[in-house]
Structure 1
Amino acid sequence: MLRNAIKARKFMYIKEFKGLPTAANFELVEETLPDLKEGEFLARAEFLSVDPYMRAYMLNLKPPALMIGGQIANIIESKHPKFSIGDRIFAQCGWRTHKIVDPSQYPDHQLYVLPNFGTIPYSFGLSVLGMPGNTARFGFLEICDPKEGEIVVVTGAGGAVGSIVGQIAKIKGCKVIGFAGSDEKCKWLEDYLGFDKAINYKAENAEELLRQAAPEGIDCFFDNVGGTLGHMINEQMRLFGRISICGAISTYNDEEVMIPAFKTFHRRNLKMEGFNVHVRWSNRWMEGIEGNLKWLQEGKMKYHETLTEGFENMPKAFIDLFSGANTGKAIIKV
């Protein structure tokens, strides 16, 4: 028996996604971890993330493969001088309960000791103080370059990224309109997060409701959804509008993807730009986290997580993303 025989559980991607993910795409397996080598540490997951991007990125891997994803973990054994027992870290370790980590194999933005959050939960390191927070901060501010008084529309506004984008827009003095998938989420956006208007995209008159909320058109559009909803909003952009393409969750399970009508972009001199936050702003990662932490501490920003108990429930929490079951960030507590 190994000196520190740790049984790690992990979820493997065993069947290619076809349409909506199902439980059949995953298998929970166990493995025994070896002893640490010099320069390594052993991390035990406390909180894990599920995100829509995983659906698209796993298509690049051939089954069987470990499901990708980030986690907040506690270091329980270390033979590395810069990582100590008791440190809480963010690590891109995938869907697994334990991991022997060699830090030399990770870029800085995929492995780091969490800064002092004060009274803020460590799970926020997977949400507003992590990848979703930086996605919202940089993807909105750098691409849309919002000005005070402008009209901002956010799709997926009740989700991990959209709920942050809307609040940043309010901090910058903009009028904010959010789209979400239920009347309850719309009420939450208006009453709790302070959106000026929230629209249920499932409503038959959603397009008319947007025209009423923004009769002179839209200056900035942060799109998490794509599809027909994104196309409808594009058609209501003003001259010199800016569109930040973060995601297209409505199309991830589709066989065919809609092609946007580019004549609108030409006629209205629109700017549309997609981005991957890890590629574009990895060198500013801690800047983003510290900036959002300051807004949280000042009371300018609020956040909500949908917490699922139990590592074994990761596939269900992931599948539920595509029906909009989460409000804010979906987090799994081990």
Structure 2
Amino acid sequence: MPETNPRILLARRPQGAPVPEDFRLEEAPMPVPADGQVLVRHRFLSLDPYQRGRMDDARSYAKPVELGGVMECQAVGQVAASRDARFKEGDWVLGGFGWQTFSVRPAKALIAIDPAEAPPSTALGVLGMPGLTAWVGLADIGQPKAGEMLVVSAASGAVGQVAGQLGKIAGARVVGIAGGAAKCAFVKDQLGFDAAVDHRAALDPQLDAACPDGVDVYWENVGGAVQAAVFPRFNNFGRMVMCGMIAQYNTSTGADAAGAPPGPNLGPVVRKRLRIQGFIVGDTGWSRYAAFRAEMLGHITAGKLRWREDVVHGLAQAPAAFIGLLEGRNFGKLVIALD
């Protein structure tokens, strides 16, 4: 057992886009579990856009990371020491915490995972919080029906790739919006979306061609110029699932990096009887995790669900990888492998 626990702290709050100096790597004492707790050795860390919001000292649905505190994330790992009968050394678990090599967690906060069912890292992606987010958002808000048009932004990312495929399983026609030819090809050729739109090119003509009859459901991961292009195409009784606004996370005005305004004129919400709803997966999602995982494993076994991971090796690479995530440089679900 190592004597220290390498971890990455929030050194200062970002002013706009995060930079490497906003993080600090340190060697901390090895944590020791008490009764009812488990020491988890992290094998994979999840990097996700929501973590940008935790870096700001601003009111939100969750507390910000304290200055000098460990950067927040979910982790998958193996039990290194257990003070609870529910887990033994070597068990794989979901529920480790933070950009660090080890964490002590209450046993009741951990979820046992079977590495024989799927690679353990999938518990941070297609079978984890991003996949659960897509599953809950579509079931509760988007509710795509056979023959409807579903548009998914950030379609090659961790949430988008699952949301689009679940839409296809429901019988909808699905268009994915992604950045660049490689990501668009992946969305269409590997994930099976009906069409892909490249947000690095002119959006209007591409959306006109891909959605000639309008949009019934829009899965929003991006905001900014992408949202402004999709919104006028809503059909009556359309639904917008507000999952994220990554294009606007680093700005104080709400405009995206290209200067697009915070959002469209909302007048058509009344005329078209639109539903726009945000949600946080933690509100109800984890109480439904067992049903979600069983359903998703069934889709995987049936060959109906694919995914892509972007694996970066080494804890020290987490800040650069996270900065790249916010810039759209990742391709698929971003995880840090602690070899």
TM superposition shift of 1:78: 1.4
Partner of 1:122: 120
Secondary structure at the aligned position of 1:241 is classed as: strand
Query: Aligned partners of 1:40 and 1:151: how far apart in 2?
Result: 47
Query: Aligned partners of 2:124 and 2:310: how far apart in 1?
Result: 12
Partner of 1:64: 68
Match of 1:327 among 307, 326, 331: 331
Partner of 1:310: 314
Query: Aligned partners of 1:100 and 1:245: how far apart in 2?
Result: 33
- The answer as to whether partners of 1:239 and 1:269 remain within 8 angstroms in 2 is yes
1:24-54 deviation per Cα after TM superposition (whole angstroms, max 9, x unaligned): 1100111122544332221111011100000
- The answer as to whether partners of 1:217 and 1:238 remain within 8 angstroms in 2 is yes
TM superposition shift of 1:118: 2.7
Partner of 1:263: 267
Partner of 2:297: 293
Match of 1:277 among 273, 278, 281: 281
Query: Aligned partners of 1:331 and 1:34: how far apart in 2?
Result: 23
Query: Aligned partners of 1:219 and 1:233: how far apart in 2?
Result: 11
Task: Structure 1 unaligned segments of length 5 or more: list them.
Answer: none
Match of 1:237 among 234, 238, 241: 234
TM superposition shift of 1:221: 0.5
Worse-superposed segment, 42-51 or 323-332: 323-332
Secondary structure at the aligned position of 1:318 is classed as: helix
- Amino acid across the alignment from 2:279: F
Query: Aligned partners of 1:36 and 1:300: how far apart in 2?
Result: 41
Structure 2 vs 1, CA of residues 67 and 193 (structure 1 numbering), >3 Å: closer, same or farther? same
Match of 2:150 among 152, 163, 168: 152
Partner of 1:80: 84
Structure 2 vs 1, CA of residues 315 and 139 (structure 1 numbering), >3 Å: closer, same or farther? same
- Amino acid across the alignment from 1:263: G
- Amino acid across the alignment from 1:190: K
Query: Aligned partners of 2:318 and 2:32: how far apart in 1?
Result: 27
1:108-158 deviation per Cα after TM superposition (whole angstroms, max 9, x unaligned): xxx2111x3535211000000000000011111221111101000000001
CA RMSD of aligned residues (A): 1.4
Partner of 1:139: 137
Structure 2 vs 1, CA of residues 79 and 267 (structure 1 numbering), >3 Å: closer, same or farther? same
Partner of 1:186: 184
Task: Structure 2 unaligned segments of length 5 or more: list them.
Answer: 57-63, 255-261
Runs (4+) of structure 1 exceeding 4 A deviation are none
Structure 2 vs 1, CA of residues 269 and 92 (structure 1 numbering), >3 Å: closer, same or farther? farther
- The answer as to whether partners of 1:11 and 1:29 remain within 8 angstroms in 2 is yes
Query: Aligned partners of 1:238 and 1:194: how far apart in 2?
Result: 24
- Amino acid across the alignment from 1:211: D
1:112 equivalent to 2:116? Answer: no
Query: Aligned partners of 2:131 and 2:30: how far apart in 1?
Result: 33
Query: Aligned partners of 1:286 and 1:316: how far apart in 2?
Result: 34
Partner of 2:39: 42
1:7 equivalent to 2:7? Answer: no
Tell me the TM-score normalised to structure 1 length: 0.93
Query: Aligned partners of 1:63 and 1:98: how far apart in 2?
Result: 20
Query: Aligned partners of 1:13 and 1:147: how far apart in 2?
Result: 44
Query: Aligned partners of 2:31 and 2:232: how far apart in 1?
Result: 57
Query: Aligned partners of 1:229 and 1:34: how far apart in 2?
Result: 45
Query: Aligned partners of 2:198 and 2:33: how far apart in 1?
Result: 52
**How many residue pairs align between the two structures?**
324
Structure 2 vs 1, CA of residues 67 and 291 (structure 1 numbering), >3 Å: closer, same or farther? same
1:224 equivalent to 2:221? Answer: yes
1:200 equivalent to 2:217? Answer: no
Worse-superposed segment, 125-134 or 287-296: 287-296
- The answer as to whether partners of 1:11 and 1:67 remain within 8 angstroms in 2 is yes
